[in-house]
Structure 1
């Protein structure tokens, strides 16, 4: 069998797997949507109470995602820590964020999603991001492009950072002081060079907008695999560039992340490297 035929068979197999993944992610999103009306009554006064509230959302989605995704790929591993980073062991792994933007959900804000990404030998090969409030489903498959409900996505054609929108996100609420100060300095630098800077959580929703050409660049310091892998694949398949903030190749071990339209990537690296 030729290499071309083997590649075509793998893409076809992964396309079927992507469809099953999308069904699972939409089902989990529907379950979280059913809990969204409760956001107005969610109250917490301690860190422990907040963690229990977040875990309740996670468990609602995981009860659907884990059995369905495990049935699709029984031999794939399951990443337990959604805040974890770094390289994974060899083989296939499901990297899932059952409630991306979970704290927004608790506060009645609309910016939250459900994500599932299959990682093969430390490379994302397919991803699904579903936004239950809008019903939108973003998908990407290595070598087959990025799509929104079946419509191809393309990054922006902007070639001037001064005319572009950039965005960043807080990787986690308990980040150490050095990273927090680095984030603050980078926002100041980008405010001087970009047209507009957006700052909000979660990272995945900004990366959806980069893939769709709505914003031109996104950067983040630190971060977890579940935050960045879905958007990294979507942006790459939509024609964007991925690196760390200094322009070096990005891996899950990197301490920074940059996704941008090709026309502004170099300028964004220059701004963030000051």
Structure 2
């Protein structure tokens, strides 16, 4: 039972790890969306594209936006690394070839903003691991340097390559590939759950067989003990009662004779001792 319970617990813990990765991938999508919204909001505030009932360009509103953007970047980095590398130990997605191709291959089209005299966009092949890291780094640049960027671009953040990287890659390619990763993790977890269910039924069958074997073995041992006791009682029943009585009377008589013999021996010893004393007195010189 202990071994079966240990196998079941280890399987449940493994399923919990995969569920943690699935949840982390979902939080990545939420963080990417939050980063895109707040980067666009920063540009709108610098350009005056605001509304008094929604948000305006104030120091308090900018501080709130920076805090939200910072929290989203932290969440993105933590869960991005956790899904790919593992939250508790180094894993690299093991043998999930579809996910590994998505995270490590070159199936993604990354758009790069080249801020030269005539700005342009170029495409390069990349993967989800590199693009996610670059996306977080670009968002962090916007967070910490948006004032400098606004001054150098005359409040037009679209002329900055970091802001462009966030806006060009986040809503399209990056979000779609994160959704594919989420779908792959979900399919993997469903397969793992099905295998865990089958394993649970198998362990129940094994446990039932072991329990029945223990019950039959205990019954067999008790049956042997009962047979041995029955044979012992039958031996006493076969012996005639007259023989048992005679044997008992004989033992009693032998015990009485031994007791009487011991008493007679003590009297003889006393008489011999008196005779020896009389002889010694007669031989003494007068």
Q: Whose helix proportion is higher, 1 or 2?
A: 2
What TM-score results when the alignment is normalised by the length of structure 2?
0.24
- TM normalised by structure 1 equals 0.25
In terms of fraction of residues, the more strand-rich structure is 1
